[in-house]
């Protein structure tokens, strides 16, 4: 008989989207819940008493008052920027030129790529993130390094070679043809292999010629089951730049659409300064947007209208945007999402924040049937949250009158100390 693991604790269960239905109907927390895991998948979720009686031979893991959640899903990161996170004093374009591009140049060395891929994944896991959708660099070896490191850790991941053929330094440019060829080779090597998914990855319109955008649009049309990830309308000077580079385009989104880079499998990071036409077109297409709140304040980009976009039915994910973002933690990222919504006059409920970091991000990556939910048949990637991980959090959470009030201090003040355990594909992760 195969080994069964039974995890006992408070369980975070998702039944719907708390932006579309009242959060009380969408999410429930069972204070005496249990999750039964078998063969890397969740087999049952229910009451602790019932599942214990039904599965007496399962190995028990009693997490007491801890919250058993789906593993966090970080829908937009740049793993190669791990070592330059928290770099001072620049806004987007200067930040790219001063810190990011010189660092990404170092990834021509496969040994360095392997070192940073391992470092990034271990940091992310330590913060309770079990799936991430990452940009690599222009170097194919940086994609291999990431997927090999993810495979070693049995993680479900998405990544792609970042393509740039202009406005980037020597050593960090490919061409339209080599971007197509390299991306195609990597896609054939990795897409669907074990838990890896390939994402076609033009960095953003300013660093791709129209020829390169068209070549990647053609590749996407040959592989419509792949995600396509890029950046959209992050900062005002960037949008002005795009206007100058693409004078014929109606707006920023149109620079992608015109080259075959808009579709339901498209995932667009930031999307802060959108026009009404862009919002309407995104809603029509079914493309996903990814909110990167720590990055948007750190780089000085602006306040995304999460509630307005959610109300339009646009799929939304949540992300650290490491290393433009200032944290590896999806808890810290939820806190920043809360703060940014407050600055727009909206209080996001903890159920909505947690949904964005799990099922919402999973849906933005079209992985909503695999991860992001504690339910039978889902892959068993779990994060166990200690809701009293520091004295400051513990004293506030102790005062709480319900579970949401008990969870909120961890969302606002929590970090890697709140991660009691992580399970990957049905196995407890042992930190290296
Ligand atoms: N736009 C284009 N490239 C990047 C990047 O690496 N980080 C962020 N935050 N925005 C970008
Ligand atoms: Zn980014």
Q: Which CATH number fits the domain that encloses residue 327?
A: 3.20.20.140
Most informative mutation of 230, 255, 269 for ligand 1 (most atoms within 8 A of CB)? 269
Same domain, 117 and 62: no
Of 364, 389, 419, at which residue does a domain stop?
364
Same domain, 407 and 275: no
Q: Which of ligand 1's atoms lies nearest the C-alpha of 100?
A: 6
The CATH number for 28's domain is: 2.30.40.10
Residue 13 tokens read as 């269960």
Q: How many Å apart are CA 309 and CA 304, to the nearest integer? A: 9
Which ligand is nearest to the Cα of residue 290, counting in written order?
A: 2
pLDDT per residue, tens digit, the chain (432 aa), is 689 999 999 999 999 999 999 999 999 999 999 999 999 999 999 999 999 999 999 999 999 999 999 999 999 999 999 999 999 999 999 999 999 999 999 999 999 999 999 999 999 999 999 999 999 999 999 999 999 999 999 999 999 999 999 999 999 999 999 999 999 999 999 999 999 999 999 999 999 999 999 999 999 999 999 999 999 999 999 999 999 999 999 999 999 999 999 999 999 999 999 999 999 999 999 999 999 999 999 999 999 999 999 999 999 999 999 999 999 999 999 999 999 999 999 999 999 999 999 999 999 999 999 999 999 999 999 999 999 999 999 999 999 999 999 999 999 999 999 999 999 999 999 875
Q: Any residues with CB less than 8 A from the CB of 115 and at least 6 apart, and which?
A: none
Same domain, 355 and 388: no
Same domain, 164 and 50: no
Which ligand is nearest to the Cα of residue 80, counting in written order?
A: 1
Same domain, 376 and 413: yes
Q: How many Å apart are CA 69 and CA 12, to the nearest integer? A: 5
Which ligand is nearest to the Cα of residue 319, counting in written order?
A: 2
Q: Whose CA is nearest to atom 8 of ligand 1?
A: 324
Residues with CB under 5 A from ligand 2 (ion): 269, 321
Same domain, 33 and 128: no
Q: Whose CA is nearest to atom 11 of ligand 1?
A: 231
Same domain, 92 and 229: yes
User: Of 333, 310, 316, whose CA–CA distance to 368 is shortest?
Assistant: 316
Q: Which of ligand 1's atoms lies nearest the C-alpha of 295?
A: 9
Domain count for the chain, please give it.
2
Q: Any residues with CB less than 8 A from the CB of 268 and at least 6 apart, and which?
A: 229, 230, 231, 232, 256, 282, 287, 288, 289, 290
Same domain, 357 and 378: no
The pocket around ligand 1, CB under 6 angstroms, is made up of 78, 92, 96, 100, 203-204, 231, 234, 295, 299, 321, 324
Most informative mutation of 92, 133, 256 for ligand 1 (most atoms within 8 A of CB)? 92
So what's the pLDDT on residue 432? 59
Q: Which of ligand 1's atoms lies nearest the C-alpha of 207?
A: 2
Of 364, 383, 401, at which residue does a domain stop?
364
Same domain, 127 and 257: yes
DSSP structure class, residue 322: B
Same domain, 157 and 51: no
Same domain, 244 and 294: yes
In SS3 terms, 341-392 reads as HHHCCCCCCHHHHHHHHHHHHHHHCCCCCCCCCCCCCCECCEEEECCCCCHH
CA dihedral 36, 42, 44, 47 (to 10 degrees): 60
Beta strands, E only, 248-344: 266-270, 288-291, 316-318
Of 311, 331, 364, at which residue does a domain stop?
364
Same domain, 274 and 324: yes
Q: Residue 143 C-alpha to ligand 1 middle, in angstroms? A: 17
Q: Which of ligand 1's atoms lies nearest the C-alpha of 324?
A: 9
Q: Which of ligand 1's atoms lies nearest the C-alpha of 292?
A: 9
Residue 419, domain extent: 4-71+372-428
């Amino acid at each position: 008989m195969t080994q069964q693991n039974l995890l006992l604790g408070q369980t975070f269960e998702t039944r719907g989207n708390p932006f579309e239905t009242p959060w009380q109907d969408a999410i429930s927390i069972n204070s005496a819940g249990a999750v039964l895991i078998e063969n890397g998948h969740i087999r049952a979720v229910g009451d602790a008493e019932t599942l214990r009686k039904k599965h007496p031979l399962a190995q028990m893991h009693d997490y007491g008052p801890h919250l058993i959640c789906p593993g966090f899903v970080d829908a937009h990161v740049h793993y190669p920027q791990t070592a330059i996170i928290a770099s001072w004093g620049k806004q987007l374009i200067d930040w790219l030129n001063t810190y990011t591009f010189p660092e990404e140049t170092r990834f021509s060395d496969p040994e360095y790529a392997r070192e940073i891929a391992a470092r990034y994944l271990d940091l992310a896991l330590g913060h309770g993130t079990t799936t991430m959708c990452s940009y690599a660099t222009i170097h194919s070896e940086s994609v291999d390094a990431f997927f090999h490191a993810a495979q070693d850790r049995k993680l479900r991941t998405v990544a792609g070679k970042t393509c740039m053929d202009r406005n980037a330094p020597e050593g960090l440019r490919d061409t339209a043809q080599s971007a197509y060829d390299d991306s195609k080779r990597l896609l054939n090597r990795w897409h669907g292999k074990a838990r890896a998914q390939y994402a076609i990855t033009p960095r953003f319109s300013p660093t791709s010629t129209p020829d390169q955008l068209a070549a990647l649009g053609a590749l996407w049309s040959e592989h419509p089951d792949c995600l396509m990830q890029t950046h959209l309308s992050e900062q005002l000077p960037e949008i002005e730049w795009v206007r100058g580079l693409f004078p014929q385009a109606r707006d920023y989104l149109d620079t992608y659409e015109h080259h075959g880079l808009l579709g339901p499998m498209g995932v667009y990071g930031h999307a802060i300064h959108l026009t009404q036409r862009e919002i309407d077109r995104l809603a029509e297409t079914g493309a996903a947007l990814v909110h990167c709140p720590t990055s948007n304040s750190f780089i000085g980009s602006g306040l995304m209208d999460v509630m307005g976009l959610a109300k339009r039915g646009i799929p939304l994910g949540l992300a650290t945007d490491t290393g433009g973002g200032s944290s590896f933690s999806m808890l810290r990222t939820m806190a920043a999402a809360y703060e940014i919504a407050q600055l727009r006059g909206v209080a996001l409920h903890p159920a909505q924040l947690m949904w964005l970091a799990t099922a919402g991000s999973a849906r933005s990556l079209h992985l909503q049937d695999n991860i992001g939910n504690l339910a039978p048949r889902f892959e068993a990637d779990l994060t166990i949250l200690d809701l009293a991980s520091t004295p400051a959090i513990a004293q506030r959470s102790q005062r709480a009158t319900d579970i949401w009030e008990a969870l909120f201090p961890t969302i606002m003040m929590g970090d890697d100390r709140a991660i009691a355990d992580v399970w990957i594909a049905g196995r407890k992760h042992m930190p290296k």
